[in-house]
Structure 1
């Protein structure tokens, strides 16, 4: 092959590559859209931190879900008047962290046996629950509950699995409370006995 023919060949290959490459590059640059998962585990202040610490989690939002009134306030929910549960909505990148991992973190941050609420907070508004978005999430949530039942064969699992309803973000002062008010957060978490109970159930 002469030098000229070789150069013509390379030029043809390059032109063909440039024609095809946009779609190839578009596919390689395809971005998986962020997903959302919603969990109730008692006080939403204490449920943000475990998820925020996970690689692949974009952020968490404290809020209310599962009730019968629109735009509930913290006072209404905490008084048990609206039927809502305190919950966190986790926004995450499915390419970096799986829904199964989020389920695992949920279970290890709740008392799955508490029928009255969570830790020092009692009432329906503080009960533990997984809110699934579709059939796949429902199946994964149910499978994760079976794993917990297997680990604790003599215990009844009180945490429930429910279809996700409209989620209402809580008032701004509740968002990232553990960052805005670290001392108050730590005091509340300690006096509520959350970590002591979690260690007793799940270990360190």
Structure 2
């Protein structure tokens, strides 16, 4: 079956894997870095906010089973799309949200979904999440992969403590 890639930055990548991981048609969700120019950056380098990279997830999916448009819906429901300075208590460009498109069709779908979210009136502030052409994606260190499975108690404390869980509940309802 045909697969495609989708790449989303939504703040801490630990919190962006779980929402996509168990959806039908998803073959893999990995944490990594994209959007910058430094080859093979490390977590420590990206955290300086000097490399241009964002923490992101790369998803390999089967569009016939789970279309890109539905992935966009999941993405929007995991972030504060009005905050371009980071996400929740994670601040800086490495935590800023973005959609990275791999094809012209993805770009068009992402632009349409952003326009629909803006028109919905769900948020009082403008939707500032950029839609950018995909750049090389570098896999994060292994201890970052599937963090929510390896460290479930810490993951839950982080999700709540960062303000993400409350924001999602308040703005998007039960997930």
Shorter-chain TM band:
over 0.9
For the pair shown, the structure with the greater C-alpha radius of gyration is: 1
Q: Spell out, residue by residue over 1:103-124, the C-alpha distance to the aligned partner (whole angstroms, 9 max, x if none).
A: 0100011101112110110101
Q: Within 2, Cα distance between the matches of 1:38 and 1:187?
A: 25
Q: Within 2, Cα distance between the matches of 1:61 and 1:131?
A: 15
Aligned residue number for residue 80 of structure 1: 49
In structure 2, runs of 5+ residues without a counterpart are none
RMSD of aligned alpha carbons: 1.1
The alpha-carbon deviation at position 168 of structure 1 amounts to 0.3
4+ runs deviating over 3 angstroms = none
Q: Within 2, Cα distance between the matches of 1:95 and 1:115?
A: 32
Larger relative helix fraction: 1
Matches within 5 A, 1:173-192: 173-192=143-162
Aligned residue number for residue 16 of structure 1: none
SS of match in other structure, 1:55: coil
Q: Within 2, Cα distance between the matches of 1:53 and 1:119?
A: 24
Aligned residue number for residue 197 of structure 1: 167
Q: Spell out, residue by residue over 1:145-201, the C-alpha distance to the aligned partner (whole angstroms, 9 max, x if none).
A: 011001127421111100000000000110000001111111111110101011222
In structure 1, runs of 5+ residues without a counterpart are 1-31
Aligned length: 173
Q: Within 1, Cα distance between the matches of 2:172 and 2:151?
A: 27
Q: Within 1, Cα distance between the matches of 2:33 and 2:70?
A: 23
The alpha-carbon deviation at position 202 of structure 1 amounts to 1.8
What TM-score do the two structures reach when normalised by structure 1? 0.82
Q: Which has the higher contact order (CA 8 A, sep 6+)?
A: 2
